[in-house]
């Protein structure tokens, strides 16, 4: 039995402040739950001159003040980014400290290695906050859903892009205007690349899919594509066709293969996921025993994220104060193979501008037909009489991605095709 559990907090930014505040304000509650007080012993920051609400003597700019301290049982890493966070986590577990992190980049890139290292040193590495912020996802996948064979995950796991897409859909505005608004409100960073290019969602999907399919998912396995090509008219046309557009993170298992991809997706507007708006996140999981389940809530922010971090800390501290060993590891299946994006089969929405004259549609359908892509509908949208061009929207039946990409390349060579404006995958 330990009489207190000592914590080294690395990072005191948005999330770190939330964690530190809650540890102070809820100290009595936590001590009751754990059976011993949780005490923040040291806090690592980069800039010692910043004004902070915590006790100044706790602050340090030297990571060794935490890593070298044998009294510190749990390291909470909320610095973010790959470096130096990866090195600190690695050193902490190697020195027998439990680690709780919110770092999706480190877990997505190095999770397999770090979890093995933690197991070797008989400590836990917990990362509930790394995907979905305040929404419990990691723990349900690691515990409550273990009896299921999970066949698919469809997730909206980036609040910034969901805010932008919601604005575009509801206010008929273009991507740049919606992004500017998100930046003004603090929902998007000054450099929004990681969010709008789908990288942030790709990290989170790699983490979730690994737990869902009990396999190692490399970041290179995750295909990702951002939202910047979407235009206001794609949302109008989607609506006319009964769809809405979301940046979906999709993981699917088929026999011993799995596919993991993040891209703008047409989804039927009556699906629950289609109604997830603004900065909210939602994760839909299909299990063979549970059927379809949906997790919904705030995927970011100081308080929701600290809820996930502190749940990990409390669980660890309960184990420690009761003298139990760290939680068991999920057993990994090494035989599963990632399917490249070229091999997936899905329906497509294709928006293009073509010369407004007879015979053009026949040329396009010939290209698609030769590649065995069958069309479910063609709609002529706007005609620009001065440019003698017309905009058409094609919806296909399920087709192989490789064939679709080849068709796009063949159509681009046609003299009558002025522009292929967008190709969006459809999930029915
Ligand atoms: N923000 C969210 O809503 C959210 C949600 C889910 C997960 N997360 C994850 O939580 C983590 C932290 O995010 P955040 O938004 O709290 O970040 P943040 O506001 O930028 O805070 C980062 C903190 O780490 C410190 N730091 C940065 N580099 C350092 C270094 N080299 N050495 C020592 N300290 C360093 C900073 O020190 P200074 O204070 O001195 O600058 C700051 O206190 C990230 O992994 C992020 O992905 C965040």
- Cβ atoms 232, 176 nearer than 8 A: no
- What CA–CA distance (Å, rounded) separates 16 from 188? 19
C-alpha dist (Å) from residue 351 to 219, 296, 390: 30, 32, 11
**pLDDT score at 321:** 85
- Cβ atoms 151, 280 nearer than 8 A: no
pLDDT band at 111 (very low <50, low <70, confident <90, very high): very high
Asked whether residue 84 falls in the same domain as residue 147, the answer is no
pLDDT band at 194 (very low <50, low <70, confident <90, very high): very high
Is the minimum distance from the CB of 14 to ligand 1 under 6 angstroms? yes
The three-class DSSP label of residue 76 is: strand
**pLDDT score at 323:** 78
Residue nearest atom 27 of ligand 1, based on CA coordinates: 79
Asked whether residue 99 falls in the same domain as residue 12, the answer is yes
Asked whether residue 252 falls in the same domain as residue 311, the answer is no
- What CA–CA distance (Å, rounded) separates 410 from 391? 18
398: tokens are 């399920």
For residue 12, the CA-to-ligand 1 centroid distance in Å is 7
**pLDDT score at 322:** 82
- What CA–CA distance (Å, rounded) separates 233 from 113? 45
**pLDDT score at 81:** 97
Asked whether residue 148 falls in the same domain as residue 77, the answer is no
Asked whether residue 283 falls in the same domain as residue 350, the answer is no
Please check the confidence at residue 231 and state whether its pLDDT lies above 70. yes
- Cβ atoms 281, 133 nearer than 8 A: yes
Please check the confidence at residue 328 and state whether its pLDDT lies above 80. no
Cβ of 127: how many Cβ atoms within 10 Å?
Answer: 25
Q: Is residue 43 part of a domain?
A: yes
Asked whether residue 128 falls in the same domain as residue 220, the answer is no
The residues, ordered by sequence, that sit 6+ positions from 374 with a Cβ below 8 Å of its Cβ are 368, 396, 397, 399
Q: Which residues are identified as catalytic?
A: 204
The residues, ordered by sequence, that sit 6+ positions from 215 with a Cβ below 8 Å of its Cβ are 209, 258, 332, 333, 334, 336
Entry field: residues in the chain: 428
Which single residue is written with the structure tokens 């603004």?
278
| 258, 286, 321 - which closes a domain | 321
Asked whether residue 415 falls in the same domain as residue 401, the answer is yes
- What CA–CA distance (Å, rounded) separates 34 from 426? 48
The crossing angle, in degrees rounded to 10, of helices 360-370 and 401-413 is 150
Is the minimum distance from the CB of 79 to ligand 1 under 6 angstroms? yes
Q: Is residue 14 part of a domain?
A: yes
Asked whether residue 257 falls in the same domain as residue 231, the answer is yes
Is the minimum distance from the CB of 64 to ligand 1 under 6 angstroms? no
Query: At 154, which CATH number?
Result: 3.30.360.10
Asked whether residue 289 falls in the same domain as residue 386, the answer is no
Task: Among 64, 79, 105, say which to mutate for ligand 1: greatest number of ligand atoms within 8 Å of CB.
Answer: 79
**pLDDT score at 162:** 98
Q: Confirm whether pTM is higher than 0.85.
A: yes
- Cβ atoms 247, 227 nearer than 8 A: yes
Asked whether residue 43 falls in the same domain as residue 13, the answer is yes
Phi, psi torsion values for 267, nearest 5 degrees: -125, 145
pLDDT digits (tens, 9 = 90+) for 218-228: 999 999 999 99
Q: Is residue 117 part of a domain?
A: yes
For residues 265-284, give the mean pLDDT. 98
Asked whether residue 161 falls in the same domain as residue 230, the answer is yes
pLDDT band at 326 (very low <50, low <70, confident <90, very high): low
Give the residue from 156, 141, 411 showing the smallest Cα distance to 281: 156
Task: Among 46, 88, 133, say which to mutate for ligand 1: greatest number of ligand atoms within 8 Å of CB.
Answer: 46
Q: Is residue 169 part of a domain?
A: yes
Domain count of the fold of the chain: 3
Please check the confidence at residue 235 and state whether its pLDDT lies above 90. yes
For residue 134, the CA-to-ligand 1 centroid distance in Å is 16
Percent of the chain with pLDDT over 90: 95
Query: At 90, which CATH number?
Result: 3.40.50.720
**Domain around 276:** 143-298
Ligand 1 atom nearest to 302, measured from its CA: 3
Q: Is residue 187 part of a domain?
A: yes
Q: Is residue 100 part of a domain?
A: yes
**pLDDT score at 327:** 66
pLDDT digits (tens, 9 = 90+) for 330-364: 777 788 999 999 999 999 999 999 999 999 999 99
Query: At 415, which CATH number?
Result: 3.30.70.260
- Cβ atoms 219, 202 nearer than 8 A: yes
- What CA–CA distance (Å, rounded) separates 244 from 170? 10
Q: Is residue 336 part of a domain?
A: no
pLDDT digits (tens, 9 = 90+) for 372-428: 999 999 999 889 999 999 999 999 999 999 999 999 999 999 999 999 999 999 999
The residues, ordered by sequence, that sit 6+ positions from 364 with a Cβ below 8 Å of its Cβ are 352, 354, 392, 394, 411, 414, 417
- How confident is the prediction for the chain on average, in pLDDT? 96
Task: Among 78, 89, 160, 162, say which to mutate for ligand 1: greatest number of ligand atoms within 8 Å of CB.
Answer: 78
Give the residue from 244, 301, 249 showing the smallest Cα distance to 270: 244
Q: Is residue 328 part of a domain?
A: no
327: tokens are 């939680």
Asked whether residue 167 falls in the same domain as residue 264, the answer is yes
Antiparallel, parallel or unpaired: β 375-384 and 280-287: unpaired
């Amino acid at each position: 039995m330990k009489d207190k559990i000592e914590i080294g907090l690395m990072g005191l930014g948005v999330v770190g402040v939330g964690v530190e505040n809650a540890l102070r304000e809820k100290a009595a509650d936590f001590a009751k739950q754990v059976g011993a007080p949780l005490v923040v012993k040291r806090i690592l920051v980069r800039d010692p001159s910043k004004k902070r609400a915590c006790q100044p003597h706790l602050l340090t700019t030297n990571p060794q003040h935490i890593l070298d301290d044998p009294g510190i049982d749990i390291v909470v890493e909320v610095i973010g980014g790959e470096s130096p966070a990866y090195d600190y986590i690695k050193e902490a577990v190697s020195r027998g400290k439990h680690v709780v992190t919110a770092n999706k980049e480190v877990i997505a890139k190095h999770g397999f290695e770090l979890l093995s290292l933690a197991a070797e040193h008989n400590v836990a590495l917990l990362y509930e906050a790394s995907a979905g912020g305040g929404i419990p996802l990691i723990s349900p996948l690691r515990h409550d859903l273990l009896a299921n064979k999970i066949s698919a995950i469809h997730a909206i796991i980036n609040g910034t892009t969901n805010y932008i897409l919601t604005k575009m859909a509801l206010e008929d505005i273009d991507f740049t205007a919606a992004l500017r608004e998100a930046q003004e409100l603090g929902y998007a960073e000054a450099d929004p690349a990681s969010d709008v290019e789908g990288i942030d969602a790709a990290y989170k999907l790699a983490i979730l899919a690994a737990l869902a399919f009990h396999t190692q998912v490399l970041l290179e396995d995750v295909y990702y594509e951002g939202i910047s090509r979407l235009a206001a008219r794609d949302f109008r046309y989607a609506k006319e066709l009964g769809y809405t557009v979301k940046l979906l993170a999709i993981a699917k298992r088929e026999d011993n293969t799995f596919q993991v991809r993040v891209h703008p997706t047409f989804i039927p507007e009556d699906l629950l996921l289609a109604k997830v708006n603004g900065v909210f996140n939602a994760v839909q999981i299909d299990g063979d025993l549970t059927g379809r389940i949906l997790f919904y809530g705030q995927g970011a922010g100081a308080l929701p994220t600290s809820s996930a971090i502190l749940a990990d800390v409390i669980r660890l501290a309960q184990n420690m104060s009761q003298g139990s060993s760290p939680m068991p590891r999920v057993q990994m299946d090494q035989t599963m193979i990632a399917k490249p994006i070229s091999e997936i089969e899905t329906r497509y929405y294709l928006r293009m501008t073509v010369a407004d004259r007879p015979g053009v549609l026949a040329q396009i359908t010939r290209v698609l037909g030769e590649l065995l892509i069958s069309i479910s509908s063609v709609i002529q949208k706007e005609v620009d009489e001065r440019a003698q061009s017309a905009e058409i929207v094609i919806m296909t039946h399920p087709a192989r991605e490789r064939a679709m990409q080849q068709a796009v390349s063949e159509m681009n060579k046609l003299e009558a095709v002025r522009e292929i404006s967008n190709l969006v995958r459809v999930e029915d």
